[in-house]
Structure 1
């Protein structure tokens, strides 16, 4: 009998986002696949350290099967072969992670399996794979290097940028091409017109489906919108979320203030942004995923 994953929050993650594989990946890049394979097989019983997204995955798995409505499935999507992937599965077992499904694509991009499995979020250390997933309409982000530790709170806390991430980049394009004053006037005139969807709307909605069955004060998930917008451009954001029927627990309208310290104050387990400068600020304080949006994703 086929297993139905419908109704579950599905997250696909690469092995390099989940575990620390810097040494072996450097070997792959400098000495090739054969040396890499031999190394992984020779060390397959040695535990791997935690990667940047490990804390996020641990908290996602803590939600798994707490309630029927909030069940979560984390799926490993790896460029390893099944042979070298044995070390990854041994590490999963060592760390006690309830991950039972995996794809090992032996060098090919695994993003197409993210699409086939209907994942709501795909996290990878490979920016090329992330761009392909975004082009197919999947919420995806490149996990950036960071040395920050895990957030000790048991609550899963996820923060999002607005334009080009949760919302389309229609307004951001006006800012980039016509300047701040044109952006403000455009958003003032469109204050009651909902923004089009960005790539992360389906993921945010999947989180909301879990949240709506819990008391906001006791919810296992807390979300935040951390945006460079400020008044009066905040109105369109609020009206858009109302139109979608989506709950955001916290909203921070920074008007260009550095995001990193604010995200640390929120206690984000991960933050998603399309702007490299914001990501560089954020990753000094919290795990960060870069969303390399291109014209393919424009509404």
Structure 2
């Protein structure tokens, strides 16, 4: 029987999200594919620096130390590189002692079509086109933003922070806010306080994380989650009721009511923060590994 990826937290990450390959990407953009391939092959033994997603991946993989016979987390490299240029990346993985055994090298072809066969719960990439395709396929996906703070904190507890509307929850309420204003938004939330919000693109990811958390006592959980949202009272009540309806756990929740998010995200110590708004991510990405959640192409938010 084949290796079963079901019931695991499966993270697919591009090589440029895991490692700092911005200089190499610049060669590709300015000189073309052949020069990029040549550079990677000539520098095959040169170790690549850590990228934005490195800390998250390393901390997630530590969870498997508690389950040596039944890994809870699977990390898969999904890259547009070809098999020849993959050697530099896999050698760097070995040098960093990351337990990443599976990979897919598409030679420039679309990655999104391979995500479901690998049972991917979360896809992280620096390539916006790949992220958009993954989102359109219904996969939780986000575009990793540049993060140059080298003071990565590796620990036995992974900390993941989420925005609410259009990330954990559907975009319905955010559309009302953007098209009709704050008063209409508050009236809508008051009228629907007992109605659970629909799933957003990261709802299923939160459920998978909750399944792992349930295997531990709360104070011993290896993953700690936080909701960091611009909502405040009274719009917070529907959020709390929705999470209860979903039967999922969020360890911390912050209803900021317009207060800047970046200081709260930093204080939480997030290994990654997911948001859909550039206005927040521009600040958080300077302090914390951050990633932008895109809207599906047919989303009304893309037309606002």
TM-score range, shorter chain: over 0.9
Which runs of at least 4 in structure 1 moved beyond 6 Å after TM superposition?
none
In structure 1, distance between residues paired with 2:89 and 2:166: 33
- 1:1-299 → structure 2 map (5 Å cutoff): 1-64=1-64, 66-67=66-67, 71-148=72-149, 149-294=151-296, 296=298
In structure 1, distance between residues paired with 2:284 and 2:148: 12
User: Bigger shift: 140-149 or 289-298?
Assistant: 289-298
Q: 1:102 to 1:297 in 2, by over 3 A?
A: farther
Q: Secondary structure at the match of 1:82?
A: coil
In structure 1, distance between residues paired with 2:226 and 2:126: 24
Q: 1:152 to 1:64 in 2, by over 3 A?
A: closer
Are the equivalent residues in 2 in contact too, given 1:170–1:298 (CA < 8 A)?
Answer: no
In structure 2, distance between residues paired with 1:223 and 1:13: 20
Cα drift, residue 152 of structure 1: 4.1
Are the equivalent residues in 2 in contact too, given 1:198–1:297 (CA < 8 A)?
Answer: no
CA displacement 1:175-227 (0-9 Å, x = unmatched): 00000000011101111100000010111111000101111111111000000
CA displacement 1:64-118 (0-9 Å, x = unmatched): 2523676110000000000001111011011101001000001112121112211
Cα drift, residue 298 of structure 1: 7.1
Cα drift, residue 153 of structure 1: 3.8
In structure 1, distance between residues paired with 2:168 and 2:220: 24
Structure 1 gaps, min length 5: none
Q: 1:298 to 1:158 in 2, by over 3 A?
A: farther
Are the equivalent residues in 2 in contact too, given 1:272–1:288 (CA < 8 A)?
Answer: yes
TM-score of the two chains, using structure 1 as the length reference: 0.97
Cα drift, residue 296 of structure 1: 3.3
Cα drift, residue 297 of structure 1: 5.6
Are the equivalent residues in 2 in contact too, given 1:12–1:75 (CA < 8 A)?
Answer: yes
User: Bigger shift: 276-285 or 71-80?
Assistant: 276-285
Cα drift, residue 265 of structure 1: 0.5
Q: CA RMSD in A?
A: 1.4
In structure 1, distance between residues paired with 2:62 and 2:278: 31
User: Bigger shift: 167-176 or 70-79?
Assistant: 70-79
Q: Secondary structure at the match of 2:250?
A: coil
In structure 1, distance between residues paired with 2:16 and 2:259: 31
In structure 1, distance between residues paired with 2:193 and 2:71: 34
Q: Secondary structure at the match of 2:113?
A: helix
Q: Secondary structure at the match of 1:145?
A: coil
Are the equivalent residues in 1 in contact too, given 2:80–2:105 (CA < 8 A)?
Answer: yes
Cα drift, residue 35 of structure 1: 0.7
Q: Secondary structure at the match of 1:224?
A: strand
Q: 1:275 to 1:170 in 2, by over 3 A?
A: same
User: Bigger shift: 282-291 or 225-234?
Assistant: 282-291
